[in-house]
């Protein structure tokens, strides 16, 4: 079963559902060119310029010639609002039955707040792909609009359509759904339908002058006194090449659905590549310098906090370099001061 986690918004009420129905009814059975279909979606305010794949995937439409999908045929054949609702709910189930079943079973037990639902989805108890918070809001909006749930304050409860979906949701176990997990092929968007992006020019290096000016300002306090020795090495950062402007900028539209794992991984790779290149010298302190390790937190958290406080006091109060701080800390430890909490 697919696990689609991006859903279109309906503008906050039911008003846009008839637009989806009208688009489905007006699309010729033989299909029409993609550009004409896109113009139809734009007129209905369904087209999402930043995320075109979202409405196309929801409708199941794409390709050079767009023909009505099964979902669009169901919308076109709907005789009343109830049949429209059931067609939309059927599409939500088809796109992500794991998410559908999980949320359904939650609000069937008791009223569930949106924050509670998202917290559950982010826990180990949820075995599916976690959507972004905006995507969950869009899913719940569709569920409310179609009568699957009712909004009661900040919570959702069973709605008029809950009972008729209970049997279908209960027929399949989560293990069965996960065993059949398979991605849904995205609709194709013709190349000539996507506005050409300007040719990417070589990224221009950003000068280090602004960085140097900022660092020069923060290396002294408001009263003109120098910062503690533990922070004076920051002046060396002015000579480091900037991490900005080293690759093609990321389009803001990629953040529309939140910070996905892909975005996080790409950001981490860019920072790691920059860090490997500049290879800055390290003057900072490490936990090992003060005999701190993960087991210490378990065995004596109070002593660990005491050691951290003493280390911070030495680093920021003692007018000496790193070696002087470590020597002072070692002397206190040998004198038994650190153990006398």
- Number of Cβ atoms within 10 Å of the Cβ of 145: 21
Cβ–Cβ under 8 Å, residues 27 and 37 = yes
Residue among 93, 118, 321 nearest 228 (CA): 321
The whole-number pLDDT of residue 285 equals 79
Residue 68 buriedness (CB in 10 A; 0-12 / 13-18 / 19+): buried
Contacts of 58 by beta carbon, 8 Å cutoff, 6+ apart: 7, 8, 71, 91, 95
- Phi, then psi, of 32 in degrees rounded to 5: -150, 160
The whole-number pLDDT of residue 84 equals 93
- Rounded CA gap, 148 and 159, in Å? 5
**The two structure tokens encoding residue 265:** 């991984």
The whole-number pLDDT of residue 100 equals 94
Q: Is 1 helix (H, G, I), strand (E, B) or coil?
A: coil
- Number of Cβ atoms within 10 Å of the Cβ of 19: 17
Q: Is 129 helix (H, G, I), strand (E, B) or coil?
A: coil
Which pTM does this prediction carry? 0.57
Beta-strand (E) ranges in the chain? 32-33, 65-66, 112-113, 149-152, 155-158
- Rounded CA gap, 150 and 96, in Å? 20
Q: Is 220 helix (H, G, I), strand (E, B) or coil?
A: strand
The whole-number pLDDT of residue 139 equals 93
- Rounded CA gap, 68 and 63, in Å? 11
Q: Is 112 helix (H, G, I), strand (E, B) or coil?
A: strand
The domain ranges of the chain are 14-179, 209-251+258-278, 287-334
How many residues are present in the chain?
341
Contacts of 128 by beta carbon, 8 Å cutoff, 6+ apart: 3, 96, 98, 99, 102, 121, 178
Cβ–Cβ under 8 Å, residues 144 and 13 = no
Weakly modelled stretches of the chain, pLDDT under 50: 197, 199-202, 205-209, 221-222
The whole-number pLDDT of residue 211 equals 52
Residue indicated by tokens 């009223």 = 111
Percentage with pLDDT > 90 across the chain = 33
The whole-number pLDDT of residue 292 equals 79
Strand order in the sheet with 155-158: 112-113, 155-158, 149-152
Residue among 46, 7, 263 nearest 135 (CA): 7
The whole-number pLDDT of residue 241 equals 74
Q: Is 247 helix (H, G, I), strand (E, B) or coil?
A: coil
The whole-number pLDDT of residue 206 equals 46
The stretches of 172-247 forming alpha helices (DSSP H) are: 174-179, 209-218, 229-232
DSSP for residue 177: H
- Phi, then psi, of 320 in degrees rounded to 5: -150, 175
Question: Which region holds residue 63: left if phi is over 0, alpha if psi is between -120 and 50, else beta?
Answer: left
**The two structure tokens encoding residue 80:** 């009343």
Contacts of 338 by beta carbon, 8 Å cutoff, 6+ apart: 303, 306, 307, 310, 332
The whole-number pLDDT of residue 304 equals 83
């Amino acid at each position: 079963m697919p696990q689609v986690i991006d859903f279109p918004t309906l503008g906050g009420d039911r008003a846009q559902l008839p637009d989806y129905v009208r688009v489905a009814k007006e699309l010729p059975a033989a299909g029409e060119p993609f550009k004409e279909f896109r113009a139809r979606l734009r007129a209905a305010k369904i087209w999402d310029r930043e995320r075109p794949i979202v409405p196309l995937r929801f409708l199941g439409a794409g390709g050079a010639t767009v023909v009505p999908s099964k979902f669009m045929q169901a919308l076109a054949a709907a005789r009343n609002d109830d049949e429209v609702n059931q067609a939309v709910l059927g599409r939500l189930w088809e796109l992500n039955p794991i998410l559908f079943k999980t949320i359904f079973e939650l609000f069937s037990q008791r009223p569930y707040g949106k924050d509670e639902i998202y917290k559950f989805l982010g826990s180990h108890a949820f075995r599916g792909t976690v959507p972004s918070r905006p995507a969950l809001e869009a899913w719940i909006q569709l569920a409310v609009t179609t009568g699957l749930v009712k909004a009661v304050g900040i919570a959702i409860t069973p709605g008029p359509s809950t009972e008729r979906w209970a049997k279908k949701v209960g027929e399949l176990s989560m293990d069965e759904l996960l065993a059949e997990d398979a991605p849904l092929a995205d609709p194709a968007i013709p190349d000539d339908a996507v506005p050409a992006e300007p040719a990417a020019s070589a990224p221009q290096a950003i000068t280090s002058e602004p960085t140097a000016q900022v660092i020069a300002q923060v290396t002294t306090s408001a009263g003109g006194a120098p910062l503690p020795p533990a922070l004076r090495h920051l002046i060396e950062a002015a000579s480091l090449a900037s991490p900005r402007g080293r690759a093609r900028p990321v389009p803001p539209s990629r953040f529309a659905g939140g910070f996905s794992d892909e975005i996080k991984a790409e950001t981490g790779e860019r920072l790691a590549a920059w860090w490997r290149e500049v290879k800055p010298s390290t003057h900072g302190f490490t936990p090992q310098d003060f005999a701190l390790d993960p087991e210490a937190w378990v065995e004596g958290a109070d002593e660990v906090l005491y050691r951290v406080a003493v280390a911070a006091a030495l680093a920021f109060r003692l007018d000496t370099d790193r070696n002087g701080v470590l020597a002072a800390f070692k002397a206190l430890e040998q004198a038994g001061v650190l153990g006398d909490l």
